[in-house]
Structure 1
Amino acid sequence: MMQELGRNILLSIDQVARLTGVKKSTLRYWEKTFQDFLCPNRTYSKRREYSIDEVNIIETIKKLIEEEHLTNMGVKLRLGEINGNGPSC
């Protein structure tokens, strides 16, 4: 039940930036670069709302870039492997 509740929580870009340590400008860039894997919902006023699954993807992208030193293409390939070669959006 708690896991199901957690899946319905949506976070703002400010909250995600504080939670993950990734700048808001970087999150916006990653949204464009990794659009097959990262696509936050938009409110009526065009604000981004990130799900817990998307926060996990952001943390994965951060790890792949910072710790494994992958390029954007490498990150896309690895995300495809993790998500079963299909986009999550």
Structure 2
Amino acid sequence: MEKSLTLKQVATILGVEPSTVRFWEKEFAEFVKVKSNKGQHKRFTPANVEMLTKIRDLLQVEQYTIKGAKRRLEMDMALDSAMGIDGNFKTTVFFMLSAIMQELQTYRETSQKLSQQLELLQLEKSEIEEKLQEEQRKGILDFIRDKIAMKKMQEKEA
């Protein structure tokens, strides 16, 4: 027969108050199925404790809302049944995907910064080209003035 634990024992294992365990048991009833015989205290199985541990981690460590934790557990159960994957492999895949998503976010941010820098460089290039054209126009005007002045001097000499 499977060893079962009392509410107080489960609360001690999870490091929470018994009232918290009762709340989670009610909120997550479709995931935590605690059996109790009429007139007896509820007894928690190792599977119940494992599920309550997942719930605690989702709520307290990963900071999920109740609704978000339920969705996550539903998704996990769907994945488990659809793929027949054991929990450790699934967790590994989940963390790998999380790491990939973080890396993609970092690349996206870097890409945005590079794009902004490129825009600034293009603006700076345009400003420099305008100044260069202005200098070239000034150079042409000075060249024409010099030619006109030389022509006037030649006419005066002639």
TM range (shorter): 0.7 to 0.9
Larger RCO, structure (CA 8 Å, separation 6 or more): 1
The structure with more strand, counted as a fraction of residues: 1
Aligned counterpart, 1:67: 61
Aligned counterpart, 2:77: 83
Number of residue pairs aligned between Structure 1 and Structure 2: 80
Which structure 1 residue ranges, 5 or more long, are not aligned? none
Aligned counterpart, 1:23: 17
Could you tell me the percent identity over the aligned residues? 29
- Higher Rg of the two aligned structures: 2
The within-5 A match list for 1:34-73 is 34-73=28-67
Q: CA deviation at 1:46?
A: 3.8
SS in 2 for 1:36: coil
Structure 1: distance between partners of 2:56 and 2:33? 16
SS in 2 for 1:49: coil
Q: CA deviation at 1:20?
A: 1.2
TM-score by length of 1: 0.80
TM-score by length of 2: 0.47
Aligned counterpart, 2:116: none
Structure 1: distance between partners of 2:76 and 2:46? 16
What is the CA RMSD across the aligned residues, in angstroms? 1.8
The structure with more helix, counted as a fraction of residues: 2
Residues 43 and 49 of structure 1 are in contact (CA less than 8 Å); yes or no, is this contact kept in structure 2?
no
